[in-house]
Amino acid sequence: MAEKREHWGSKFGFILAAAGSAIGLGNIWKFPYIAGENGGAAFVFIYLICIAMIGLPVLIAEILLGRTTQRNPVGAFNKLNGRPFWTMVGGIGVLAGFIILSFYSVVAGWSIGYIVEAVKGTFYNYPDAASAGEHFDALVHNAWWVIGYHGLFFILTMIVVYFGVKGGIERGSKIMMPVLFVILIILVIRGVTLEGADKGLTFLWNPDWSKITSQSVLIALGHAFFTLSLGMGAMMTYGSYLSEKDNIPAAALEIVILDTLIALLAGVAIFTAVFATAQDPAVGPGLIFRTLPVVFTKMPGGFLFAILFFLLLTLAALTSAISLLEVVVAFFVDEMNWTRHRAVLVFGFITFLLGVPSALSFNLLADYKLFDHTFFDVMDFLASNILLPVGGFFISIFVAWVWGLDRAVVELKKGAVNLFEKHAGIIRSWKWFLKYLSPVMILIVFLYSIGLIK
Ligand code: PHE
């Protein structure tokens, strides 16, 4: 190995970094718009079930695989099994990291661009839903605007990862995550005190089951993976910097609670604002960019809240993007003996380039469609709704059936002896969920949604 493996400075540092990975555009940008498109509360309910029954068990499994092997996803499977098939499963994870980061950074770039718009006070020129939407369309129609901020976001991501696990990722998360919490709380208070906020809350809590289709169940499942950074080895990689002193089930539970709390709070902040200004919750990926500027122009102190919101979004995206890049970097450091610095520079640049067609999906390539979707949509669908659930499926199968639960439990006990003594039932259910429930549920949802079973 080129360099001695790094470790987190503290358990708290790990929790913040892992929560930072989980909490991202998924929570603040994606969750509200897919909930908006899929009927609100009913979707939220299915999503919460997926998080608790599949997300949490798989998260524990991933962190455990990382800590046990002290390797990136490819190295982890390789070390425990060595069959080419499982190495390939790890490889698909690294590939998914690549793909997600490439389009993720495009949206994160919009967010930086919107901080600039907010500071300039541009939103005041577009005070209603129609013109704010046109403003968004005009910005993303400008290829240079999109690619420029996509590039800037990449540079920020690369800087953090360049400085390593403790000096970059952990230190960055310790600064960014608390700022993020504070900003979100301020925005929630602002949201619920708006006149007409109750309609937004109703939308979020009162289910409309008629909007739920098999496709929306797949989206909820895919999103459970996406939002917890599961199915592609990001949590495995972060777990690989943990030591045997740490209690994995407890850490995983904290990460899940933080992630879910932030998604729900973001939902409250956003839907109260959207409904208070009588806007459409189902406008798709542009939701927060189209609707929130209108809200900001109308509310007292909106100038400041606008800046805070897009700062929040950018920080959340950054702590997630670094975990995506870290997967690819860890692979090249562990398996190819590269130095961290070289891996960051080379793969940062390559992933940036892969993101360019996604950036152009909103302008020059907007009319080029694969299966009726833009390149950006295809990348998102491929990664979130196919690669991540498939990855989660194989991770469950691997731990439960191939590596074996007996061995897994021996490893899991390290750092968690108390839990095993006092709450043996929790461990028993974890085994059961991982062995049967999560693979079977993922399979059913998956086959259903691609039309193989009806
Ligand atoms: N969890 C991140 C979010 O919600 C996205 C992500 C997915 C990060 C997969 C790492 C790995 O925005």
Q: Name the one residue in this structure whose structure tokens are 């169940």.
A: 217
Q: Which atom of ligand 1 is nearest to the CA of 323?
A: 10
What average pLDDT does range 280-297 have in this prediction? 86
Going from the Cα of 197 to the center of ligand 1, the distance in angstroms, rounded, reads: 29
Residue 384 CA to ligand 1 center (angstroms) comes to 9
Q: Which CATH architecture has domain 11-449?
A: Up-down Bundle (1.20)
Phi-psi region of 185 (alpha: psi -120 to 50; beta: other; left: phi over 0): alpha
375 versus 63: the higher-pLDDT residue is 63
Ligand 1 midpoint to CA 27 (Å): 9
pLDDT tens sequence across 354-388: 999 999 988 888 788 777 788 898 898 888 888 99
pLDDT confidence of residue 451: 63
Residues 332-358 pLDDT 10s: 999 899 999 999 999 999 999 999 999
Distance 157 CA to ligand 1 centre (A): 14
- C-alpha 373/C-alpha 229 separation (Å) is 24
Q: Is 27 in the pocket of ligand 1 (CB under 6 A)?
A: yes
User: What is the residue with the minimal CA distance to atom 10 of ligand 1?
Assistant: 229
What's the confidence (pLDDT) of residue 2? 44
pLDDT tens per residue across span 248-274: 999 999 999 999 999 999 999 998 988
Nearest CA to ligand 1 atom 9: 229
Closest C-alpha residue for ligand 1 atom 11: 229
Spell out a b/e string for 367-393, using b for 16 or more CB atoms within 10 Å of the CB, else e: eeeeeeebbbbbbbeebbbbbbbbbbb
Q: Which atom of ligand 1 is nearest to the CA of 388?
A: 9
pLDDT in tens, 157-213: 999 988 888 888 888 888 888 888 888 898 899 888 888 889 989 988 888 888 888
98 vs 234: CA distance, rounded Å: 11
Rg over CA atoms, the chain: 21
Answer yes or no: is the C-beta of 234 below 6 A from any ligand 1 atom. Answer: yes
pTM: 0.91
**Residue 26 Cβ contacting ligand 1 at under 6 Å:** yes
Among the atoms of ligand 1, which is closest to the Cα of residue 226?
7
28: CA distance to ligand 1 center in Å? Answer: 11
| Segments in 228-301 forming alpha helices (H) | 234-239, 248-276, 287-298
Question: pLDDT-based confidence at 219, cuts 50/70/90?
Answer: confident
pLDDT top residue among 370 and 31: 31
**24 Cα: distance to centroid of ligand 1 (angstroms):** 6
Query: What confidence tier does 36 reach under pLDDT thresholds 50, 70, 90?
Result: confident
**Atom nearest to 29 CA in ligand 1:** 12
82-104 pLDDT, tens digit per residue, is: 899 999 999 999 999 999 999 99
